[in-house]
Chains A and B, each alone.
Chain A
């Protein structure tokens, strides 16, 4: 399956992240081969368990694509997701995992370019971290 690195798991809100991913693909923007995309009905569905499981299975980074604040179809799903990610980051440190491995990324459904850009930023961040160590 192409190059196996870097393994990025993207949890995508059905209302914003998924359309943005489709858009990025239809524009032919470069996305890493090993990007795993998981659709969720709402960004707020990205459970702690999902994120931890992804890291446990060997993901290099986990990204949660949700709607911008105030745009959630379910009123506060995106805010929930953001809070969960922020909390998880504080816990990851004590587990010896880099908190930078998870990222909350608000995205608009029609901005495939932004989607691809954020994934590329994550790839570059991973590369630079790898080079350092």
Chain B
């Protein structure tokens, strides 16, 4: 065994570098109800883009209300944001639409239209969209009890000091975090519970239990944090069926634990006399955001692509649309500001220069004579860059005005927004699509030669 001899087929560099310049008007829309939207609008306007800020409040300043809800802010932060508001209001590049709700969107990078206030006709044109919406945190309490709270409320309590740690006024001695009651794939709750639990156990000797379905240790530094928690004496349980809460003077939770024994042989556990129970919240998407995402064919999961490369902080699955704010996950103020700037920077790269060079080789191409118009590629394309359009003859695409002479309709890949991922190629049942820069024959040839 050695490590030198592997034969490797790499992604080809573009065959003949063919860059096509397309013109993109430096006009963007920022639909928002979150301070991150203000940061993005301010950045984009200061870079010389024409920005339309769309928000549902009476004044721009009202957007800052979320700041108090989400983050604990001091006077310095407040001053910074008031200065930001003043900049946004004064900047001539920003036109503000007060009292305006977004009801949908359509189009492609360079040619987006936003529908506002439920109207179908009058649309707002923009080359790119940067949005930031707040998410409403919902705590699903089993019954009304002051000692059952959500993570967000708990963080606010902690920041106020130890005396006020329980909302009921009792000193905190026994605490339980209950995770995974709703959505199960969110890592932030595991992370927060473990870190806070370790801190409370070490600093104040609080007895901490964490109840979860599965502990997600795949995030950065999580394994270390988990080990520390175990060493500090934080007890971690895994439950299968939903835990039963019992109220009254002393709060208790009953559940079957599978972490100690095996899954087939669970252990009945009852945690009694709890001073505080912290539940994982679920987050509800704002209506405006939903309308926008639906209209743009992004969908909730496409809105916050978590690529392995953290430099694409604000990317959604569509080119020309970026997201920031707590549309993503609960984050700190510093994180929110960095993400917003990164997202704005990303949109600037796409729309700020007036033109954009596209490598026309690095895309997929449809052979319309083979296309069966089954819409598989249309549905699967993560960038929504495939349309069904009329063709005149082989490979000759007819523009809208010439539709009379069209002979048949077939899928067409929009060169501007295609990212060359090849998902459509691998799913096309008619084998009508090929990646121009990386045709199937490359792979077949490599396999034939090397095996």
Contacts and interface: CB of A to CB of B under 8 A. Distances in A.
B76 interface: no
A96 interface: no
B6 interface: yes
A70 B185 contact: yes
B422 A44 contact: yes
A2 B308 CA distance: 34
Contacts of A102: none
Q: Which 6 residue pairs are nearest across A and B when measured between Cβ atoms?
A: A45-B422, A57-B451, A74-B382, A47-B426, A33-B5, A73-B307
A116 B305 CA distance: 27
A21 B1 CA distance: 16
A33 B427 contact: no
Interface string A39-68: 111101111111001100111000000011
Interface residues of A, number: 54
25 contacts: A9-B447, A14-B11, A15-B307, A19-B308, A24-B3, A25-B3, A28-B3, A36-B8, A36-B9, A38-B446, A38-B447, A40-B422, A41-B422, A41-B435, A41-B438, A44-B422, A44-B427, A45-B426, A57-B447, A57-B451, A73-B308, A74-B317, A74-B419, A75-B299, A76-B382
Which residue among A31, A38, A80, A109 has the maximum number of chain B CB atoms within 10 Å of its CB?
A: A38
Given A45-B421, A108-B308, A7 B451 contact: yes
B397 to A, nearest CB: 24
A129 to B, nearest CB: 19
Interface residues of B, number: 41
Contact of B308 (A28, A58, A67): A67
Interface in A1-38: 1-2, 7, 9, 14-16, 18-19, 21, 24-25, 28-38
Contacts of B309: 15, 73, 109
Interface in B7-31: 7-11
Given A42-B423, A49-B440, A59-B451, A71 B5 contact: no
A74 B9 CA distance: 22
B146 interface: no
B421 A42 contact: yes
Interface of B: 1-3, 5-11, 185, 218, 299, 301-302, 305-309, 317, 380, 382, 419-423, 425-427, 435, 438, 440, 443-444, 446-448, 450-451
Given A30-B1, A37-B6, A70-B185, A75 B382 contact: yes
Contact of A44 (B299, B423, B450): B423
B328 to A, nearest CB: 13
Nearest to B315: A73
Nearest to B423: A44
A70 B2 contact: no
B321 to A, nearest CB: 13
Nearest to B450: A36
Contacts of B1: 30-33
Contacts of A109: 308-309
